[in-house]
Structure 1
Amino acid sequence: MGTLRSAWKEAAWVFGLSRLLLLLVTYVGGVLLRPKNMASIPCVNNGLRFCLLGWYHWDADAFGRVAHVGYRSVADVAFFPFWPWLIRLGAAALGNRFPLSFLLSELLLANLFFFASLILLYLLAREALDFDPAQARKVLWYLTFYAYAIFFFAGYSESLFLLLTLAIFLLLQGTALWRWWMAGLLGCLAALTRSTAVVLLVPFLFFYVERFWRAGSPGLAPSQTVEGRPWSLWLRRLSAALPALLIPATLAAYMLYLGVRFGDPFVYSRMERTVWGREFALPWVAFGPALGALLSGPLHTEMAVRNLMDVLFTLLPLVVLVIGWRQMPVAYRFFSLGLALFALCFPLNAGETLASQPRYMMMAFPLFLVLARWSKRFPSLDLVYGGFCAPLFAINALLFTLHYWVA
């Protein structure tokens, strides 16, 4: 109970400070400065409404559109349905006025889910990984003020997916079968949130082997050993394994729906390729064009700055995860690896090939656990990280509200 109280307190501090900063940046971007492409902002006027509409574009606009009219456009099937469903429910509670109710629903839910994610992350660090309170607190600060953590404020699905991921990791720490079935049900929701959910099979696999197959596993009582009742042992193992199958089953159900609705169960993949410009490639392929553009083109253009940020915040998380590989439990290692490979295997097929990769890499939350561990040995890391990431966090928020492309 004391740990939960501490989690609420620590999460409230970092959440409140970061949201105050983002609201200040929103005001500066919406009132004191003028957003790029003013005509693209619907119902522009002065005041709070004008400021908040600075966050309503790109994926946030697409999610709001799906929430409002459903999959009227086949191109929108690339946006999985659970997050728009939640947005629609929130918008209904807020008066169902488009676009303002949908935007407010996105922002309120995204921030609510992020606050809950901070609480779960603190609990995971303290109870599952034995971090001391200072280290667990730093994990929250490192995540919240990461350069691309603005997407936990915007109406994107990042906050929801992070919350579901952390809840699954917490549930899989125990051996009670209800925890595994609950994790499986949350995996269903994650699979309806984004295709990356398939990577959640990794922690299921590693925790399953650790808790139900290794000798002396905490999930196996003495009566379930070979000397006891073999059928009981195998029944328990089967009961713990089945929930993981709910994730691919949910993805298959969504594909079945697309097949019935649009005549092609793989239409979401086709839309990713033809409309959104993402198609399968080997994970290192995207680096070539991005680095080539940096080395051969002028460095003072907007595209050059974006390429530089893409390369930097794709490589830095990878370097941290590689160096800190042995400082993480095995399930966390391979979850991070799977998430990184999944993201890198679907780059843009032209132009800014690493676009959005910094946002995808941020979802590998063990990155921040590694950094917090390092901070104990290198206290100056707090200053270095804060001096580097926090200003970029504010700058990215300002650019986003001014309608410049960010990740």
Structure 2
Amino acid sequence: MTDLALRTAPTRTEGRLPALLGYAAVRALGLLALALVSGARGADPRTLLSARWDSLWYTRVAELGYGYEVRLPNGDVHSDLAFFPLLPWLERLGAALTPLSSADTGLLVSALASLAAAAGIHAVTAHVYGDRAALYAVLLWAVLPVGIVQSMAYSESLFTALAAWSLYAVLTGRWVGAGVLALLAGLTRPVGLAVVAAVWAAAVREHLRERREAGAGLRAGAARLLGVVLAPLGTAGYVLWVGHRTGGGLFGYLDVQAGWRNGFDGGYAFARFVGAKFASFPSALAGLGLLAGVALVVWLCVTCVRQRQPLPLLVYAGAVTALALCASSYFGSKPRLLLPAFPLLLPLARALAGWRPRRSAAVLGVVAVASAVYGAVWLNGSGPP
């Protein structure tokens, strides 16, 4: 399907409600499993979802603003400047306008954003492959092993919603909307750069196409240019503000991330981490699992290219994957960091769409139960750093 066909294809909404109901059912199953496992362990599921790990940092920013840091015994400095501001802003707004606390507002934002993300994933997939594949894309995103994060007071659901709808706006030629959504995604997570890259790549391709076809008019070009200009302002604005606040200039945010021992090394540290698993037999099994997971992600990336997904989806998913796998720290977080890369699921969604409905439903049902149990145990254990 050509870019022009994608831009002019009608919007498909008739299959969205069943997809959202299915998504909500999977998330309800995950929360039920979490409640049961947490109850058996004497833990509070609400605390696990809203008041641990990164959720605490977001809530602290919402309530007190930026400026908090923790100095570890080894000299590392964990600063709250590492966390982008859109989720804390929404938490603060919700706490000011409702009786909810900042933490509870974070849960509400995550719940609503996860539904918006599911709707965006459906819109993108239906636009490219039809409603049937879109239904399975949404359900596959719901049953991911770390899908419980979609219900936490984390920024993954919010970011995925903004990214998915920005990509849909690009595919349908709504350049200003795409730019605004990319700007907001850039205020949510550092990986907002992936959305910017997708908008820019699509804009360049569209500009070259118009030059070959004698142009589409000044108005279309102006809207596209405005979208291109708007897209990076969220990421750039926050990074520059951090640089000004810390005195680090353009590299201030990188210095903050270095305090968390996080950076981009091309995957060298992750490769060493995986290799170290083969030093003994029990951990070698984990190493094999990690290699299998990486191989699956690479295979999905290659399959997306072979199936000729639209350019913005390829750029976006490729950038999210590269940033996730090539980060130099928090190796246990990589599945969570890959959560927004939903275009990688589209080859699997297309395959399920080709099966008989009962067979597809049975497979997804088994995976949903396994995912719910895994997420509940994981969150009651090490959980997401």
Unaligned runs of 5+ in 2: 1-9, 70-78
Q: Distance in 2 between matches of 1:393 and 1:58?
A: 20
Q: Which amino acid aligns with 2:102?
A: F
Partners of 1:11 and 1:214 lie apart in 2 by 36
| Counterpart Cα distance in 1 of 2:158 and 2:285 | 29
Paired residues for 1:51-130 under 5 Å: 51-55=45-49, 56-74=51-69, 75-95=79-99, 101-126=101-126, 128-130=127-129
CA distance in 2, matches of 1:85, 1:237: 33
What letter matches 1:294 in structure 2?
Answer: K
Q: Are the equivalent residues in 2 in contact too, given 1:22–1:394 (CA < 8 A)?
A: yes
2:319 is the alignment partner of 1:338: yes
For the residues of structure 1 that align with 2:92 and 2:328, how far apart are their CA atoms? Answer: 30
Deviations 1:188-219 (A, max 9, x none): 11111111111213321332244333159899
1:184 matched to 2:179:
yes
Distance, in Å, in 2 between the alignment partners of 1:389 and 1:10 is: 14
Cα separation, partners in 2 of 1:187 and 1:292, compared to 1, 3 Å: same
Segment of structure 1 superposing worse, 263-272 or 366-375? 263-272
Partner Cα distance (2:248, 2:292) in 1: 38
Match of 2:99, SS state, is coil
Identify if the C-alpha distance between structure 1 residues 11 and 305 changes in structure 2 by more than 3 Å, giving closer, same or farther.
farther
Query: Residue in 2 aligned with 1:13?
Result: 22
Task: Give the equivalent residue in structure 2 for 1:252.
Answer: 236
Residue 299 of structure 2 corresponds to residue 319 of structure 1: yes
- Bigger Cα displacement from structure 2, 326-335 vs 190-199: 326-335
Could you tell me how far 1:269 is from its partner in structure 2?
1.9
| In 2: Cα distance, 1:169 partner to 1:138 partner | 19
Deviation at 1:298, TM superposition (A): 4.8
Per-residue deviation, 1:346: 1.8
Q: 1:228 — aligned with what?
A: none
Cα offset for 1:174? 2.8
Aligned 1:232-311 pairs, distance under 5 A: 232=218, 236-265=220-249, 266-274=251-259, 276-283=260-267, 285-299=268-282, 311=291
1:185, 1:243 within 8 Å by CA — same for their partners in 2?
Answer: yes
Letter in 2 for 1:8: L
Percent identity, aligned pairs only, is 25
CA separation in 1, counterparts of 2:137 and 2:211?
32
Q: Distance in 1 between matches of 2:319 and 2:153?
A: 25
Shift of the alpha carbon at 1:108?
1.3
Distance 2:239 2:202 in 1: 28
**1:270: Cα distance to partner?**
1.6
CA distance in 1, matches of 2:209, 2:363: 42
Cα displacement (A) at 1:377: 4.7
Q: Does residue 376 of structure 2 align to residue 397 of structure 1?
A: yes
Matches of 2:288 and 2:113, distance apart in 1: 30
RMSD: 2.9
- CA offsets 1:50-78 (integer angstroms, 9 cap, x no match): 33112221111111111111112140000
* Structure 1 residue identity aligned to 2:80: D
Distance in 2 (alpha carbons) for counterparts of 1:345 and 1:63: 24
2:6 aligns to what? none
1 CA distance for matches of 2:92 and 2:122?
30
State the Cα distance separating 1:162 from its structure 2 match: 0.5
Provide the rounded CA distance (Å) in 1 between the counterparts of 2:285 and 2:153: 24
Aligned to 1:167: 165
Give distance in 2, aligned partners of 1:153 and 1:323.
Answer: 29
Per-residue deviation at 1:12? 2.0
Asked if 1:355 is matched to 2:332, the reply is: yes
Q: TM-score, normalised by structure 1?
A: 0.79
Distance 1:193 1:76 in 2: 14
Instruction: Give the superposition deviation at 1:85.
Output: 0.5
Q: Distance in 1 between matches of 2:287 and 2:64?
A: 34
Where structure 1 has 5 or more consecutive residues not aligned to the other structure, the ranges are 36-49, 225-231
Q: Post-superposition shift, 1:5?
A: 4.5
Amino acid at match of 1:355: G
**Would the aligned equivalents of 2:30 and 2:376 in 1 still touch at CA under 8 Å?**
yes
Does the CA-based 8 Å contact 1:26-1:52 persist in structure 2?
no
Q: In 2 relative to 1, CA 288–210 (structure 1 residues): closer, same or farther, beyond 3 Å?
A: closer
Where does 1:10-49 land on structure 2 (aligned, <5 Å)?
10-15=19-24, 17-35=25-43
TM-score of the aligned structures, taking structure 2 as reference length: 0.84
What letter matches 1:33 in structure 2?
Answer: R
SS in 1 for 2:31: helix
What is the Cα deviation at residue 20 of structure 1? 2.1
Change (3 A) 1:371 1:51: same
Whether the aligned pair in 1 keeps the contact of 2:19 and 2:139 (CA below 8 Å) is no
